[in-house]
Structure 1
Amino acid sequence: MKKLLSLILALTLVVSVFAGCAKKGADQTQDQGNQQQAEEIKPEEGASLVVWESDGPEGEFIKFAAQEFEKKYGVKVKFEPVDHTQTSGKLQQDGPAGVGADIISAPHDHVGKMVAAGLIQPNHNPDRFKNGFLEAAINGVSYEGTIYGYPTAIETYALFYNKDIVKEAPKTFEEIVEFAKTYNNPKEKKYALMWDVGNAYFSHCFLTAFGGYVFGDNGTNKDDIGLNNEGAVEGAKYFKSLRSIFDVKQKDANYQFMDGQFAAKKAAMIINGPWAVAGYQKAKVNFGVAPLPTMNGKQPISFSGIRGLYLSSFTKYPNAAKLFLDFVTSDEMLLKRFEMTRQIPPVKALMDKPEIKDDPIVAGFMAQAQNSTPMPSIPQMALVWEPMAAAYSAIWDGKMEPKAALDKAVQTIKDAIASQK
């Protein structure tokens, strides 16, 4: 009996060891398979690629990456400047005709719309991105549980301030209003604070400070719209009150005006995003970046966005395109992208790099990111921008009262959603 028990125990131990080895071997095989999937992609013979990305620092990075990619793989990549907010619409027109890009850059809130229209393919190596990228970035470029995008940056807007004019960033909007009384000079187009007032991306923060939101259930419930609730109306009133310190009609209070005046050192403060950093550094503006100030003691919540690249459903060279997407989202390339654009790469391993964590400009955006919410990525989000822009314009120019303007915008959105059913 003792011998039999010893034999059973020995056999059990052997089986356990083999089972453990088998599982370890299976895990290693799966890991190797994922690695080989990326390594074994071979570009099609005669492949060449077109990438659509915004002009400016982002485009310069694509040009740089294209040169390095061609050196390594012998595949030519052509950069074509198309604003990343316009690429999905252009691909819908040009893709079926065979003249669209192979890879496009787009904001994450376009993902649902692009998937519904059949414009983009799923990410070909999702495990790599799930394991190495920030969860917020992965969620942003996913739709209904599938990863579609290849994240390149996580961003939100914040307060830029000229340190030669404003020694310390204000903590409240009320401080800005007081400062404007002595600084503003409309004849010289000098203003304490400027922003693109008719842009629903930037001005949304005024509604959120008081409790407004776009869609309920973390941006997924199209039937719960919070853009005209009591808090949103209160926020719109606060937004309107700032016409007293930035008395410019909406059509003139645009991004180009704000951007130019800050670069010319006439605007003391602006609300803008990390994409503008390189330009202001080139203009030699002595600036800092800080979280958005409070409004009547309430913290505004900015929109956050995930910049990403997407694989076109119409590409003739899917292998070459996937290879480029792997290449351009490598740690090395995304660190170079940060150097060129100052946009924060959404990669876990890069967050502790001294050039990122010790950068005071990045610290300002990261602080605001704690008070941000991702733009909803459901297809219905595309129906929000235009009606809300019209509402902000009408409120700013005094053509409609805040509640009436927001009610009209929400009804327009609801009607547009209903028409899609």
Structure 2
Amino acid sequence: MRKSRNLTLIFALVITVVLAGCGGNNNQVGNASKTTDTTQTEQTTSPEQSVNNATTTPTEPEIEKDAKLLVWDNGGSDEDWAKMVAEEFTKKYNIPVEVQVVSQGDAPTKLQTDGPALLGADVFLAPHDKIGGLISAGLVLENFYPDEYKSEFMEAAITGTSIDGVLYGYPTAIDTYALFYNKDLVKTVPATMDELIEQSKAFTDKSKEKYGFMMLVNDFYFLHAILGGYGGYVFGDKNTNSSDIGLNNEGAVQAGQFMQRLHKEVLPLSSADINAAVKETLFINNNLLFDINGPWAVAALQEAKVNFGVAPLPKLDNGKSPTSFSGIRAYYVNSYTKYPEAASLYAKFATSEEMLMKKFEISGQMPPRTRLLENEKIKDNEIIKGFLDQATVSVPMPNIPEMAPVWGAMGNAFTVIWDDNADPKETLDKAVTQINEGITLLNQ
């Protein structure tokens, strides 16, 4: 049953305590058949909402009388798209919508104060890995249409915008990294890392500053692809269980050994000598065959008129695809909204196939709806399709607070593994010890 909370003054005072104690495990949104405890239903649903639940369906909710909405979204092309969505929504439902520019990075922090003060947006955009704290504090409503979204969106988009198995987000875009290749230099796109290494070895000449392959070898955001492909993982239970860390298991050690192979055979530079600017310059000057990079790197290469393509990351020697980290942008509904039905309907409308296709056309952002992968405009866009194909095997960055100490510890570990040829097992064991210490401090 939906829990679109009617925020009376009393509820506003206790919501954080109640939800922090209960977590998200008791939330069964949009599916009345799963809720059989009538006592619990009476405690979590207002009389007004009970009427709504009895007379509406998930697809045609009863909108609150005199509803009007405030939406926070990014500036630039995102703002253009958001205003278009607002206009179309108002035309269809006769509900006024105001769009304000509040960046996705700032929205979670702003909502912490503006939400309880009843000043926050009804619907706001946020990156999935910054939302966990808001959800644990009871500041975000569950997605009202979870079954529909789980069947129509990429698994990574659903996992990334869920906490404790409960879906909160309405995904608007997904991004990940993939393999850039220079079409003027590469005759056959490698299907495996072994093929990539062989082509790279033949091209690399350090004395002429020519390299077959590059990636940021001390950035765990990129390194996760290799680690995950070999069977390493950050946290257990789909990155929700911080007591189970898989960053020093057998697969993680294999990833460290593979990185040492890359250093020895194709990329004879220290980690400090490899950065985004160096890679971009080499690629533009036709002195780099392959680069692992993300959508943010496309514009500069297109402006420089580089003849390049994007493909999924080649498979590892175990036959598995590297599992790149992905980021999911999504709309979320403020739990303090006066109009939960209208706000949730707006988030659903904005993430419909039609609206997400328009978002792609306006901003080039990749839609996380699976059916849109078959849209001709996307299928015919080689660059976007390369990223989307990789996104289907991607893993969303963990969205729990315990992820904070992982970034630095793992980046430092792989720096030592790369630069000093340190023993991967010993180095990763030390990193996990450091991560556990950091998690302990967070939980004190």
TM-score category, normalised to shorter length: 0.7 to 0.9
In structure 1, the partner of 2:244 is 224
In structure 2, the partner of 1:309 is 330
Is structure 2 residue 86 aligned with structure 1 residue 69? Answer: yes
Contact 1:277/1:342 (8 A) holds in 2: no
Single out whichever of 389-398 and 116-125 deviates more from structure 2: 116-125
Aligned pair in 2 of structure 1 residues 315, 231: CA closer, same or farther (>3 Å)? same
Shift of 1:296: 3.9
In structure 2, the partner of 1:214 is 234
Query: Cα RMSD between the aligned structures?
Result: 3.8
Aligned pair in 2 of structure 1 residues 91, 197: CA closer, same or farther (>3 Å)? farther
In structure 1, the partner of 2:33 is none
How many residues in Structure 1 have an aligned counterpart in Structure 2? Answer: 384
Aligned-residue sequence identity (percent) comes to 41
Unaligned 5+ runs, structure 2: 1-52, 91-95
Aligned pair in 2 of structure 1 residues 127, 281: CA closer, same or farther (>3 Å)? same
The one-letter amino acid paired with 2:330 is: L
**Aligned 1:156-175 pairs, distance under 5 A:** 156-175=176-195
What is the rounded CA distance, in whole Å, between the counterparts of 1:368 and 1:405 in structure 2?
A: 29
Query: 2:101 pairs with 45, 62, 79, which one?
Result: 79
Aligned pair in 2 of structure 1 residues 95, 286: CA closer, same or farther (>3 Å)? farther
Query: 2:369 pairs with 347, 355, 374, which one?
Result: 347
What is the rounded CA distance, in whole Å, between the counterparts of 2:72 and 2:127 in structure 1?
A: 18
Shift of 1:315: 7.0
Is structure 2 residue 306 aligned with structure 1 residue 285? Answer: yes
In structure 2, the partner of 1:412 is 434
What is the rounded CA distance, in whole Å, between the counterparts of 2:146 and 2:229 in structure 1?
A: 36
Contact 2:175/2:328 (8 A) holds in 1: yes
In structure 1, the partner of 2:359 is 337
TM-score for both structures, normalised by structure 1: 0.74
Aligned pair in 2 of structure 1 residues 321, 400: CA closer, same or farther (>3 Å)? farther
In structure 1, the partner of 2:271 is 250
In structure 2, the partner of 1:142 is 162
Is structure 2 residue 57 aligned with structure 1 residue 37? Answer: no
Contact 1:92/1:119 (8 A) holds in 2: yes
What is the rounded CA distance, in whole Å, between the counterparts of 1:261 and 1:88 in structure 2?
A: 38
Contact 1:63/1:79 (8 A) holds in 2: no
Single out whichever of 344-353 and 88-97 deviates more from structure 2: 88-97
Aligned pair in 2 of structure 1 residues 177, 351: CA closer, same or farther (>3 Å)? closer
What is the rounded CA distance, in whole Å, between the counterparts of 2:338 and 2:308 in structure 1?
A: 44
The one-letter amino acid paired with 2:58 is: N
Aligned pair in 2 of structure 1 residues 228, 131: CA closer, same or farther (>3 Å)? closer
TM-score for both structures, normalised by structure 2: 0.71
Shift of 1:199: 1.7
What is the rounded CA distance, in whole Å, between the counterparts of 1:240 and 1:374 in structure 2?
A: 26
The DSSP-based 3-state class of the residue aligned with 1:170 is coil
The Cα offsets for residues 182-213 of structure 1, whole Å up to 9 and x where unpaired, read as 53355775432222222212111222343322
**Aligned 1:10-409 pairs, distance under 5 A:** 33-37=57-61, 43-44=67-68, 48-51=70-73, 53=74, 59-67=76-84, 69-70=86-87, 73=90, 75-81=97-103, 84=105, 88=108, 104-126=124-146, 128-130=148-150, 132-184=152-204, 186=206, 190-244=210-264, 245-259=266-280, 261-263=282-284, 265-274=286-295, 276-277=297-298, 280-305=301-326, 307-311=328-332, 313=334, 322=344, 324-369=346-391, 371-398=393-420, 400-409=422-431
The Cα offsets for residues 124-166 of structure 1, whole Å up to 9 and x where unpaired, read as 5546534643455333312123221111234443211111111
Contact 1:305/1:375 (8 A) holds in 2: yes
The Cα offsets for residues 372-414 of structure 1, whole Å up to 9 and x where unpaired, read as 4444444433442222122223323328543333122111221
The one-letter amino acid paired with 1:63 is: D
What is the rounded CA distance, in whole Å, between the counterparts of 1:102 and 1:187 in structure 2?
A: 58
What is the rounded CA distance, in whole Å, between the counterparts of 1:262 and 1:122 in structure 2?
A: 44
Contact 1:105/1:307 (8 A) holds in 2: no
